[in-house]
Homo-oligomer: A and B are copies of this chain.
Amino acid sequence: MSHIRDQVSSNIEKYIGDSNFIEGAMKYSALAESKMFRAALVFASGDLNNNISNKSLINLSTSIELMHTYSLIHDDLPSMDDDELRRGQDSSHVKFGEANAILVGDALQALSYEIISDDEDLSSDEKVVAIKLLASACGKNGMVYGQFLDIESESKSIDKQSIENIHALKTGKLIECSVMYGQIGNPEKNVKKVLKSYAKKIGLAFQIKDDILEVTSNKETLGKNTNSDQKNHKSTYANILGIDKAKEKTMSLSEDAIGNLETLCSNKVNMLIELAKYIAYREK
């Protein structure tokens, strides 16, 4: 994973550049310490695809990580979740002011699409597929709508079904997109079908684990404030099911996701298995 992180970080550095204030502020958030879990998923899925270059995997990962970074910057804004700590440092709006944080997010979103359109190895057909996947995962029927529902649910008691729906949109869609990004250009439809099912499960597991860590961990470990959901009066999986049941749920989702991989070429799914396990057992 650290090799992937290094490659993606260098690519982020290269693509953002160093010529103006906004670029500096983009790098501040995009290069801050991060798990780069979504980039790892792109590469893990790419292990099952003979039709994609390492360079394209790096670019697709970069695009996803920048999209994710923009969403964190906007989610942290005072008018949204009002979180002042992110990735172990001041949130973008604390560091650069609210207007600049909004603009930095906006610029990161644009750059996500630009990087894909700029790739040297993907065909134009493949780029269009990738851009359509990303735009649809992140827009009005995906990530943005999930964030809207999440904010709207504040101070309300909502049921498990509604929480799952918010998670599927807010976090799940981009995680699914990451897994599908490793499959760009792969003609094997069966592999894609299996990975889609895998992605849905780990997406939900990832978010439930996030909810658990909000309660059981601390800000030094997570690099963000742990009282955010409570402060914003949000219903989470952890407080609806209780911590133990929520933990069981992440583990069973993780095992199910790994089970999905059984029909695939066994020596190429190691990283996907590791990532599914990591989600359930991670401490940050």
Q: Which of B109, B124, B139, B151 lies in contact with A114, CB distance below 8 A?
A: B139
Chain B CB count within 10 A is highest, among A19, A99, A127, for A99
Q: A124-B128, A135-B111, A140-B16 are in contact. Are A77 and B106 (CB under 8 A)?
A: no
- Interface size on A, as a range, is 35 or more
**Quick check: B107 and A110 within 8 Å, CB to CB?**
no
**Quick check: B135 and A113 within 8 Å, CB to CB?**
yes
**Quick check: A144 and B110 within 8 Å, CB to CB?**
yes
When distances are taken between beta carbons in the complex, the residues of chain B under 8 Å from A123 are 124
User: Mostly helix, strand, loop or mixed at chain A's interface?
Assistant: helix
Chain B CB count within 10 A is highest, among A20, A123, A131, A132, for A131
Q: Choose the segment among A21-29, A41-49, A196-204, A221-229 that binds chain B (4+ C-beta atoms closer than 8 Å).
A: A21-29
Hey, what's the 0/1 contact readout for A135-175 against B, CB within 8 Å counting as 1?
11011110011011001100000000000000000000000
**Quick check: A103 and B144 within 8 Å, CB to CB?**
yes
Q: A22-B144, A111-B139, A125-B124 are in contact. Are A118 and B102 (CB under 8 A)?
A: no
Judged by a CB distance under 8 angstroms, whether A79 is at the interface is yes
In A1-59, the 8 Å CB interface with B consists of 16-17, 19-23, 26
> Given A22-B144, A79-B99, list of 5 further CB < 8 A pairs?
A20-B148, A79-B102, A80-B102, A103-B147, A128-B128
